[in-house]
Each structure stands twice: as structure tokens, then as C-alpha cells.
Structure 1
Amino acid sequence: MKLLRYGPEGAEKPGMIDAGGTLRDLSDHVADITGDTIDDATLARLRALDPTSLPAVEGTPRIGPCVGNIGKFLCIGLNYSDHAAETGAAIPEHPILFFKANSAIVGPNDDVMMPRGSTHTDWEVELGVVIGKRAKYVSAADALDHVAGYCIVNDVSERHFQTQLTGQWTKGKSCDTFGPTGPWLVTRDEVGDPQTLDMALDVNGTRMQTGNTSTMIFTVAQIIEHLSALFTLHPGDVITTGTPPGVGMGIKPEPVFLKEGDVMELTIAGLGQQRQKVGQDA
């Protein structure tokens, strides 16, 4: 299933994309797509519905983040060997963890706004993992049973804030609008193996990133095993799992960063597409 949330910011409704690509309203069946409604039992109930019996949504409404009331927004850094190489970083021994502030989360096609003083805002297409069942001390063998589904995340990053403003990466990762998420939450049964997904990102129509989740250093299952040994993962938590090569900071001979008016377009196989225009905070 492809589940999503549509409508004005803060007033999104739950929806489903049917086999023909039509957006269907789920409001009569769930209040929202959140950690409270993405457990296996609820997903099975929604899967049993005849999508053609659901009201079709007219027009082209705004698409919101595919999960509402996200709990923890967890991010894994330097998780692709070829991306680590382009940044000159060593291959990590364990998953590198940082957090994005939840106030960074926006819809997949909402504008990305560079904060005041930004000169090094960068792009990162990433596979997002949405937890559907509580996970504590979970083995890699069982980890994917705790996943509700997957989505696209753009881990937008202000590199100067990230590396030069003394402190943790969170400073450059958590600016408002720096976490476009969606368009859909694609349930794990439809995705299958999360380590075989092609992914790409274009800026102004030029391909910048091309990759496949098969080149992750730590797989989705290994990440869940590692994190769940440190703290409990709850339904509605989102883990974004790292980016392939082609980010702006890695371009030679000179890095390239985003500017006002640029357009980013992101795709991951089976998970849809994002499109954001870059603006500038006043």
C-alpha cells in the first residue's frame, strides 16, 4: 500500500494511492497516518479495503509528510562507502547517529528555505524507514518485522552550520524545512528488500546523485539492531539511512551549493518523487 497525508499544513487528512494512481480518502477508516495507525493489524485492515470504494480526492491538494506526529527523527551519517570516499571520511565502525529537529519536517513538495546567513546548503536523497512496532534489543534477523514501511527523505544540510559552528551535526541538519518526507509511506510488503532500491537526485534538471541502497555500509536491519540496543524505537519514529555520492560538498574542483530559485527533484524506486524549490528566509 501507498499511504499518505494530504491537505493544508497542520490539517492533513489520511489517504491511499490506488493501483491506477488515484488519491483516495481514508478519513472514514483512520483518523490520520501516525504511529498509532501503522501497526500490522491496522495496516492489514486497510489492505483489505477495496480502494475503489473509497472517495476519490478531487484536484491536486498539497501532500504533507507521509507520517504525522513523528516521534524521533533519527539520521545515519556516512552510510554509503562511495559517499564517505567523496567527503574524505573514514568508513565508520558503527552507524553514525545524529538527530534532526522535528520542526524541520515538511511535505515532499514544500519549499526548502535556506536560513539567514546560509552559504553552504546541500542536498541528500535518502531512504527513510518508518517504525511500526516497538523495537528494543531487536536482532538484525527480526528487525524488518518492526518496520511499517519506507519513504523518501531529503536530508537537507547546511554544511557550514554542520561543521564550523562548534557542536554537533544537528546544527546544520535541523533548520526549518530541512526534512522533506514522503510523498508516500510504502508498506514493507510492497517494498520487499530495502537493499535493492535505485535512488537519484537532480538539481535544476541536472543529475547530481545516482545510487542504490545495496551500497549501504550498514543495512536497514543492522541499523535497527544497533539503535534498538541503545534506546527503544517507537511506532512513528523515522530513521533516514544515509546518502549516496553526488552531494554538493563533494564536487571537484569546487563544491557547489544551493541558491535561491534552485529546484531539487528526488526519486527512489517504488517510493515516488519529491520536488522542492529553494527559497531564502527573510
Structure 2
Amino acid sequence: MAKDLTLNYYRIEKAIGYIVTHFKDQPDLDDIAERVNLSSFHFQRLFLDWVGLTPKKFLQYLTVDYLKSKLYETHNVIEAANIAGLSSQSRVYDLFVNIEGVSPQQFKSAGQGLEIWYGYHATPFGMCFIAITSKGICDLHFIDENRSGNEFALFSQKWHFATLTHRPDLTQCFIQKIFKPGSGNQEKLNLLVQGTPFQVKVWEALVNIPFGSVRSYQQVAGEIGYPGCVRSVASAAGKNPILYLIPCHRIITREGTTGNFQYGRIRKQSMIAWEMASLAV
């Protein structure tokens, strides 16, 4: 089941990459399906299972003009919610997330005395590596299956004095909570992060971007009180240790392009459009 979910995502990612690259040519369903070696019928069914929309309807969420319009819509939604004390429609899908920085001593000692459990799991966006402690989630990255060893090595460098144990039975329940939007789960997820005060401030601002919405790097820089530090905001977003829960994929350029992402622009576009489409289903 996990293998099928992962394979299906990579087929979808390849198809989205083709659609984006050949957007002006307006490829039809047969064209796109051929690129992922599926019949039109099976590809459309695969896409519907993934997001609940046909590829043609999904395409609207990938356009620059649409994303640019969403930048200002997001600003108005957040502002109105703050004034009225009400939740927007997208908040039904939002997770309650709290960010906690590790203590200075734990930061210096690379997690000495901390017990960490980790696992690899299938998600709607491919395989992921997740690590948790008794205090909360401390890592979440998307990976390719053949890079799983490298991902663990990179993680263990940051926490090399902690006790690391492979416990997918413990981490699986967190994956269910994270990737089931609209399931009605109100449990708060605590995130334990290693970062500078500025990085943590940026990550907290990203958490406040609603599900299915986007903000520009300039908007986030202004919101945290550093309007001249756009590049620093982009750098902090790129060092995000807990992907998806700290939604750096929701930050784009003010021109409406998605910008860079450590796991590729196509995956970032897939994540943004999947969230927006989920609200429309």
C-alpha cells in the first residue's frame, strides 16, 4: 500500500512537471497520460484519487496569475479573521501547531540525553522521514526511497548525542494526523526545532499562513518586522527542519512564481495546488 502511494505520487509529479513545462501547448489528457505510461482512463482515476479533481481543473491552481491573486486574498483573509476573531474556511483544514525552540544547552550538546524515534512513511507527496521526541516532532523531510540512508545521516549529524531509535509504529500515527486535512482533528502538534531566534520567528510566521493560501517573501518579512530582510527570510525558509507543518511551500515570489524548494519546484507546486484543490472539492 505504501509503495503504491509513493509510486502514484511520483507519476503525478512527473505529469504535473509536463503540464507546467507545456502549459502554453494545452496538452490533452491522452498526451499527459502517455508521459507516465498509463491509459487516459487509469491516469484520470489516479489523479481523482489523489486530489478529487481532474487534471484539467487542477491546472488552474498552477498558473502564475492565479497564485498572484491568492497573495492578496490571503492577506485579506488573515486580516479579517484577526479583526472578527473568526476562522476562515481554510482553517477547517489547518493543524494546531506550536513551535518550541530547544534549550541552549540541548542546542550546544546536539540533543544529549534526548530520546528520538524516527520512521519512513508514504504521504500524498512521496516518501517522508519523520522524527519525534516526547516533546514533539523534531524533523520531517520528503525524500526519495533511494536516499533514505542519506536523510538519516543528515539528521543524526544535528542530533548526534541523542538516542535515535527506528520506531515506525510510533511515528505512523503522526503521519495520519498531518496528512488527513479536514478530518476534524483538533489535537495540538508540538514542534521542537533547532534554530536562531530570527529563523524561529520566520517559521512561526509560516505556520500562520492558512491551508490553501500563499504569502510572498516580502509579506512575511514585513509581518515579522524586518521588511528589508527578504533574502534572510528566504534563507530561513530554506533551513526549515519540519516540512509541511512549517509550511515553507506556502511562501512564493510576489510575481506569483513558486520560487525555489529544496525538494524541487514541481513538488512545491504540487503541494500548493493540492491544498487549494482540497478546499474546492
Larger proportion of strand: 1
Tell me if TM exceeds 0.5. Answer: no
- TM-score per shorter chain, which class? under 0.3
TM-score of the two chains, using structure 1 as the length reference = 0.26
TM-score of the two chains, using structure 2 as the length reference = 0.26
